[in-house]
Amino acid sequence: MNRRHYLGLVSSGALTITGGCLSASRRIGDELRKDQEKLEESDINHSIDGSGNLKIDYPTPTTHADIFQNGEKVTTIQTELTSFEIPLPSCSGEKSQVEPGDITIKLVNEKNTIGEYSWEYDPQLEVPTFEISSVNTYDPLGYPQESTPVFTVNHIGEGATCIESVQISNPQTEIDTADGEKTPVMRTGTFDATEKSDLNPYEATFGTDWGVSSNSPSKVAIDGLFTYDATKEGNSPPVETNEIEQTFDMTINTVTGRQHTTEVQVLMTNGIVESDVEVHPWTHRFSTVRLLNTT
């Protein structure tokens, strides 16, 4: 083998080895970049924004996010930033792609999944207390403040929801009326949030008055709940009674289809007073109503 041919072979081999090293280095570098881009679940955070939507924050930009429920993809959200919102069932009536249950969020950059986050959407409400509206300055229309409770509604679950209606039912105590019938000396029935009724928002967490989220409590008033109208057909004035303990159910219906029922116990005391207004939606009420317990 002559020297020129030998050097040619060595030179060719060196180039081949160098090319191989460059190729391997590129592959290793690609893997390192992929590893650096991968997000742990602890890198991803969630919160409820001012509109009652689920906000997802993370440190690495993505192109989109795939949202799954019950193992099926329900929607894809274009991102291109380091945060985005997932609309939850809201007060606006707009349809949401998610419902209560386990939600899996896959963060995608181009075609690579760089992170995954699981969250349980579990809206749960409780009614721990109420105040009579004369205490917190809420002014009901056509009814005395002393007959109007302002209920505190807490969100004790995960996420946010919206109140559609409140149903008052099952009063346990009734007193006699002048014609021998019975009355609980309070109103019952369904008070709708979307139509004109005597259900009114006093303080809301977000959105269009009826939103309830885990960030802070909301308050709703039922105007003149603790009143009775003796002028309605079939009614007559209640007999004089100094006080009764009353127990009733308060059921909150929400946009997710869930119902949340609280048993409320009150003391109605200091005798029955009659309205002195000629035109009014009520005729009688107990002078004082005080909360005893909610369960």
Question: Of the candidates 90, 121, 152, which is a domain's last residue?
Answer: 121
Of 28-32, 110-114, 170-174, give the range with the top mean pLDDT: 170-174
Whether 33 is covered by a domain: the verdict is no
Report the pLDDT value the prediction gives residue 178, as an integer from 0 to 100: 95
Whether 26 is covered by a domain: the verdict is no
Per-residue pLDDT band at 36 (split at 50, 70, 90) = very low
Whether 270 is covered by a domain: the verdict is yes
Whether 27 is covered by a domain: the verdict is no
Per-residue pLDDT band at 135 (split at 50, 70, 90) = confident
Average pLDDT over every residue of 248-267: 95
Question: Residue 111 above 70 pLDDT?
Answer: yes
Report the pLDDT value the prediction gives residue 211, as an integer from 0 to 100: 83
Per-residue pLDDT band at 16 (split at 50, 70, 90) = very low
- pTM passes above 0.85: no
Question: Of the candidates 91, 121, 151, which is a domain's last residue?
Answer: 121
| Same domain, residue pair 107 and 202 | no
Higher-scoring residue by pLDDT: 279, 106:
106
| Same domain, residue pair 149 and 274 | yes
Whether 57 is covered by a domain: the verdict is yes
Whether 34 is covered by a domain: the verdict is no
Report the pLDDT value the prediction gives residue 84, as an integer from 0 to 100: 93
Average pLDDT over every residue of 50-64: 91
Question: Of the candidates 102, 121, 140, which is a domain's last residue?
Answer: 121
Number of domains in the chain: 2
Tell me the three-class secondary structure of the chain, residue by residue.
CCHHHHHHHHHHHHHHHHHHHHHHHHHHHHHHHHHHHCCCHHHCEEEECCCCCEEEECCCCCCEEEEEECCEEEEEEECCCCEEEECCCCCCCCCCCCCCEEEEEEEEECCEEEEEEEEEEECCEEEEEEEEHHHHCCCCCCCCHHHCEEEEEEECCECEEEEEEEEEECCCCCEEECCCCEECCCCCEEEECCCCCCEEEEECCCCCCCEEECCECEEEEECCCCCECCCCCCCCCECCCCCEEEEEEEEEEECCCCEEEEEEEEEEEEEEEECCCCCCCCCEEEEEEEEEEEC
| Same domain, residue pair 197 and 287 | yes
Report the pLDDT value the prediction gives residue 207, as an integer from 0 to 100: 53
Domain holding 256, by residue range, is 125-294
| Same domain, residue pair 268 and 206 | yes
Report the pLDDT value the prediction gives residue 97, as an integer from 0 to 100: 87
| Same domain, residue pair 113 and 158 | no
| Same domain, residue pair 212 and 275 | yes
| Same domain, residue pair 190 and 73 | no
pLDDT in tens, 162-213: 899 999 999 999 999 999 999 999 999 999 987 778 888 876 655 556 888 8
Question: Residue 230 above 70 pLDDT?
Answer: yes
Share of the chain above pLDDT 90, in %: 61
| Same domain, residue pair 181 and 260 | yes
Question: Residue 92 above 80 pLDDT?
Answer: no
